[in-house]
């Protein structure tokens, strides 16, 4: 894929759910090396947007491309190959309680029939990077919430994906635990150019002034730019002020 080709590209996407317009004229891009935070109130359309990007739902109209490929033109086999280039962490937790941390980590790689030596190397690296040493043989119920989220991240990153997609990564985490996770992700970005799309209101206060932010409300994109740009823009924008302050 050409370096200029967006990893994610939505163009003029509309989506109707049960006869109601849920997304309206949504255009959004994530380029290689980007970290984009997608935020907005409940019901804004953030999780629905992720479902389109992951190919779980087709759009009512418009174009959704992943790694330069139009999802509407892909069969199941080609779609699964594209998903193999992703790491995904979704809301609500996704570790299997009956498996140890190590067994949970290895699930995505075993699905792709990697050799035992590669599995062992990848697991050791992921455990070290996500600060899970000594926890690999424990079951999820024995871990704190922050440790569980690190284990979910380790599983998402174990096969060295090009793009990480996170939904509600900060849910239930205290500030020190969230800072730890964001520090780990920053190392991944700097060391190997990991691209990230996260839908998480709780992360806004922890990103840098030049990091990218997109704000949605009622299925519409209200703002896309840097965090510094958002802070300047929302002073003069009634809709943005209402979202962030709860009043005009």
Which backbone phi and psi does 245 adopt, to 5 degrees? -110, -15
User: Angle CA(231)–CA(28)–CA(197) in degrees, nearest 5?
Assistant: 75
Query: What CATH number does the domain located at 1-85+164-171+194-248 have?
Result: 3.40.50.300
Number of residues written out for the chain? 248
Count helices and strands in the chain by DSSP H and E runs? 8, 10
Rounded to the nearest integer, the mean pLDDT of the chain is 89
Around Cβ 63, how many Cβ atoms within 10 Å?
14
Query: At residue 134, does pLDDT exceed 80?
Result: yes
pLDDT at 247 (0 to 100): 43
CB 240 within 8 A of CB 223: yes
Residue 221: band (very low, low, confident or very high) from pLDDT cuts 50, 70, 90:
very high
Burial of 50 (0-12, 13-18, 19+ CB in 10 A): buried
Of 25-34, 68-77, 96-105, 111-120, minimum mean pLDDT range: 111-120
CB 187 within 8 A of CB 155: no
Whole-angstrom distance, CA of residue 59 vs CA of residue 74: 14
Residue 248: band (very low, low, confident or very high) from pLDDT cuts 50, 70, 90:
very low
Whole-angstrom distance, CA of residue 15 vs CA of residue 2: 29
Query: At residue 48, does pLDDT exceed 90?
Result: yes
pLDDT at 111 (0 to 100): 60
pLDDT at 113 (0 to 100): 60
pLDDT at 196 (0 to 100): 94
Token pair for residue 216?
A: 């949605």
Q: What is the pTM of this model?
A: 0.89
Can you tell me the mean pLDDT for 142-154?
90
State the pairing for strand pair 35-39/220-226. unpaired
Helices (H), 54-197: 76-83, 101-111, 116-129, 145-157, 175-192
State the pairing for strand pair 86-89/195-199. unpaired
Can you tell me the mean pLDDT for 39-64?
94
Whole-angstrom distance, CA of residue 95 vs CA of residue 101: 8
Is the dihedral angle over the CA atoms 111, 134, 150, 190 positive or is it negative? negative
For residue 85, the cross-strand partners are none
Max CA-CA distance within the chain? 59
């Amino acid at each position: 894929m050409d370096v200029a080709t967006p990893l994610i590209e939505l163009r003029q996407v509309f989506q109707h759910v049960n006869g109601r317009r849920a997304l309206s004229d949504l255009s959004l891009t994530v380029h290689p090396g980007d970290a984009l935070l997608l935020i907005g109130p409940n019901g804004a359309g953030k999780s629905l947007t992720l479902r389109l990007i992951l190919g779980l739902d087709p759009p009512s109209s418009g174009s959704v491309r992943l790694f330069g490929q139009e999802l509407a033109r892909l069969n199941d086999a080609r779609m699964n190959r594209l998903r193999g280039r992703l790491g995904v962490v979704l809301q609500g937790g996704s570790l299997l309680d009956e498996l140890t941390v190590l067994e949970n980590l290895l699930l995505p790689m075993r699905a792709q029939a990697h050799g035992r030596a590669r599995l062992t190397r990848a697991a050791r690296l992921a455990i070290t990077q996500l600060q899970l040493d000594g926890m690999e043989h424990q079951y999820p119920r024995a871990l704190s919430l922050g440790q569980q989220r690190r284990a979910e991240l380790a599983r998402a990153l174990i096969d060295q994906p090009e793009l990480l997609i996170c939904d509600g990564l900060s849910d239930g985490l205290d500030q020190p635990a969230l800072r730890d996770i964001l520090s780990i992700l920053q190392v991944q970005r700097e060391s190997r150019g990991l691209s990230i799309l996260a839908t998480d209101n709780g992360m806004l206060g922890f990103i840098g002034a030049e990091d990218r932010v997109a704000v949605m409300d009622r299925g519409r994109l209200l703002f896309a730019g840097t965090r510094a740009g958002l802070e300047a823009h929302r002073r003069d924008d009634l809709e943005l002020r209402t979202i962030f302050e709860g009043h005009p």
